[in-house]
């Protein structure tokens, strides 16, 4: 089947809706650069749409009924939204799943040090990155600092117009002959990804120098001391508070239109927030459906879906058990039935065909920009290792639903068979016996600091997710 660019098929009303969705999407990308920020934003949007915290129902012993909208949060990093349908939950749900963590660089627990007049934060990269892409560009610092008294200080430096930014330095080209001969994986070592954050010593040292005093002893670590002074002033943060901080280094700057025709979006974090936010938009848009709808936004996919906030945790299963208890009465069997009878779109980005690197793709099985939402029957690597392989019957039902809703869609694989591959949360949910398929939006520059998506594909994703929730 030949790729079909969908731009020419839109009328004025559709183009207007596309632009509105993409502007809202760019706002969300700017507001949600970490998983915590995504959850906070998602909760706020859900509350504005009439969703209530599941804990409110549990504390009041209030039963759930068709039409009720609830949400549940796990450790500020995982969010599940449910709209209760007309049919019992044990008859199955329609689930939109995506992840809200993105490749980045994390600050270590004992990070702050001074070296030859420069102050740095020691780091450890998160997820699969090309390390050389992260040097010599403006970076921002996002996250939280949790004090021993339990108070939480939010950190966001580098995004506002007057904010300073940070940088990871690179070796100048004049001295880089040996560096340029290394393999790309070794051009920048992980231990050289430390963040440059300061160069000015504390004021008392400057004063001593101006007075002509011998400040050589006092100058030791005074640049680090000045950084700590600034952190104390702004965040009431001491050096030991790094131990209970979660600080993430991400590209500074906002999502931008890309191309003279403004047909694309350039931004950090579109893997997988392009699927997460479009799923959230669809979830908030669909107010009535026979089956219970769910939007599940999870953490830790980029490092194997592990931990309490990853898809391998019991958070989702436990939340479904609470819903069953509030609708049909406590029943472990009905929880199992609900999960087995459900259908899911495991939404993660696909690799868009890039003609600059055509040798890495198998063109007939590639996703193309502006061809609509992408479905992947299987992922995994090479011999489908680690893959969820969707059933043909489920795919046929999805095709019917998409066609009836006028959604543009395409089927694709991730690159050439023997070249690489990847995985999603699909196989984890498939363990319950539910029907699951990978879907999502094609992007260029996947896992780079700045990724590119097509506005048309963002629009078709929202349309496709709406149609799925109504199945």
What is the layout of strands, in order, in the sheet containing 256-258?
Answer: 256-258, 264-267, 451-454, 442-444, 350-351
Q: Is residue 258 situated within a structural domain?
A: no
Same domain (yes/no): 67, 95:
yes
Same domain (yes/no): 75, 152:
no
pLDDT in tens, 242-257: 999 999 999 999 999 9
Same domain (yes/no): 72, 112:
no
pLDDT in tens, 18-55: 999 999 999 999 999 999 999 999 999 999 999 999 99
Q: Is residue 127 situated within a structural domain?
A: yes
User: Lowest-pLDDT range, 38-52, 128-142, 179-193, 406-420?
Assistant: 406-420
Same domain (yes/no): 204, 337:
no
Q: Is residue 329 situated within a structural domain?
A: yes
Q: Is residue 46 situated within a structural domain?
A: yes
Number of domains the chain contains: 2
- The whole domain housing 181 covers 104-251
Helix ranges (H only) for 328-449 are 332-340, 392-404, 426-430
Q: What is the model's pLDDT at position 386?
A: 73
Residues 466 and 282 sit within 8 Å (Cβ to Cβ):
yes
Q: What is the model's pLDDT at position 221?
A: 85
Flag whether the pTM goes above 0.85: yes
CATH number of the domain within which 340 lies: 3.40.630.10
User: Does 421 score more than 70 pLDDT?
Assistant: no
Same domain (yes/no): 279, 203:
no
Same domain (yes/no): 241, 370:
no
Q: What is the model's pLDDT at position 410?
A: 96
- Mean pLDDT for all residues in the chain: 93
- Domain end marker among 192, 218, 251: 251
Q: Is residue 256 situated within a structural domain?
A: no
What is the layout of strands, in order, in the sheet containing 245-251?
Answer: 152-157, 139-146, 245-251, 104-115, 118-126, 195-198
Same domain (yes/no): 206, 231:
yes
Same domain (yes/no): 195, 299:
no
Q: Is residue 221 situated within a structural domain?
A: yes
Distance, in Å, from the CA atom of 296 to the CA atom of 175, rounded to the nearest integer, reads 49
Residues 91 and 290 sit within 8 Å (Cβ to Cβ):
no
Measured in whole angstroms, how far is the alpha carbon of residue 71 from the centre of its chain?
Answer: 19
Where would I find the beta strands (DSSP E) of 127-202? 139-146, 152-157, 195-198
Same domain (yes/no): 79, 227:
no
CATH number of the domain within which 237 lies: 2.30.250.10
Q: How confident is the model at residue 425 (pLDDT cuts 50, 70, 90)?
A: confident
Q: Is residue 209 situated within a structural domain?
A: yes
Same domain (yes/no): 59, 200:
no
User: Does 195 score more than 70 pLDDT?
Assistant: yes
- Domain end marker among 204, 222, 251: 251
- Domain end marker among 222, 251, 280: 251
What average pLDDT does the segment 104-131 reach? 96
pLDDT in tens, 312-342: 999 999 999 999 999 999 999 999 999 999 9
Same domain (yes/no): 39, 132:
no
Same domain (yes/no): 98, 113:
no
Q: What is the model's pLDDT at position 385?
A: 72
Q: Is residue 262 situated within a structural domain?
A: no
């Amino acid at each position: 089947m030949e790729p079909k660019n969908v731009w020419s098929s839109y009328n004025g009303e559709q183009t207007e809706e596309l632009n509105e969705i993409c502007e809202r999407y760019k706002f969300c990308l700017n507001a949600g650069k970490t998983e915590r920020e995504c959850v906070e934003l998602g909760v706020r949007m859900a509350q504005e749409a009439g969703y209530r915290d599941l804990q409110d129902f549990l504390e009041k012993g209030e039963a759930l009924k068709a039409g009720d909208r609830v949400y549940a949060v796990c450790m500020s990093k995982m969010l599940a939204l449910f709209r209760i349908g007309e049919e019992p939950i044990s008859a199955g749900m329609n689930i939109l799943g995506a992840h809200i963590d993105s490749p980045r660089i994390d600050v270590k627990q004992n990070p702050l040090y001074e070296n030859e007049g420069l102050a740095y934060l020691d780091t450890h990269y998160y997820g699969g990155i090309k390390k050389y892409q992260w040097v010599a560009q403006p970076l921002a610092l996002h996250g939280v600092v949790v004090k021993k008294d339990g108070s939480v200080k939010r950190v966001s430096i580098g995004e506002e117009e007057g904010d300073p930014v940070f940088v990871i330095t690179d070796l100048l080209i004049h001295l880089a002959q040996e560096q340029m001969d290394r393999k790309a994986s070794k051009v920048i070592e992980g231990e050289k990804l430390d963040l440059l954050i300061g160069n000015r010593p504390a004021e008392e040292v400057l004063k001593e120098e101006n007075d002509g005093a011998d400040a050589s002893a006092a100058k030791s670590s005074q640049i680090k001391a000045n950084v700590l002074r600034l952190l104390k002033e702004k965040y009431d943060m001491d050096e030991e508070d790094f131990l209970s901080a979660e600080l993430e280094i991400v590209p500074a700057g906002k999502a931008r239109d890309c191309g003279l025709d403004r047909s694309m979006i350039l931004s950090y974090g579109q893997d997988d927030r392009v699927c997460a936010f479009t799923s959230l938009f669809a979830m908030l848009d669909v107010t009535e459906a026979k089956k219970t709808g769910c939007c599940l936004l999870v953490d830790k996919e980029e490092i194997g879906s592990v931990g309490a906030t990853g898809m391998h945790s019991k958070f989702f299963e436990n939340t479904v058990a609470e819903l069953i208890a509030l609708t049909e009465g406590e029943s472990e069997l009905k929880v199992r039935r609900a999960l087995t009878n459900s259908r899911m779109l495991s939404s993660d980005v696909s690799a868009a065909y890039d003609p600059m690197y055509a040798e890495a793709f198998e063109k007939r099985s590639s996703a193309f920009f502006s061809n609509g939402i992408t479905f992947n029957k299987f992922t995994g690597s090479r011999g489908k290792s680690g893959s969820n392989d969707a059933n043909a019957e489920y795919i046929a039902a999805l095709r019917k639903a998409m066609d009836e809703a006028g959604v543009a869609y395409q089927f694709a694989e991730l690159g050439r068979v023997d070249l690489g591959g990847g995985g999603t949360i699909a196989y984890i949910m498939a363990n319950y016996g539910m029907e699951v398929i990978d879907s999502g939006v094609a992007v260029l520059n996947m896992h780079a600091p700045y990724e590119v998506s097509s506005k048309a594909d963002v629009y078709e994703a929202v349309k496709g997710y709406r149609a799925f929730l109504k199945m």
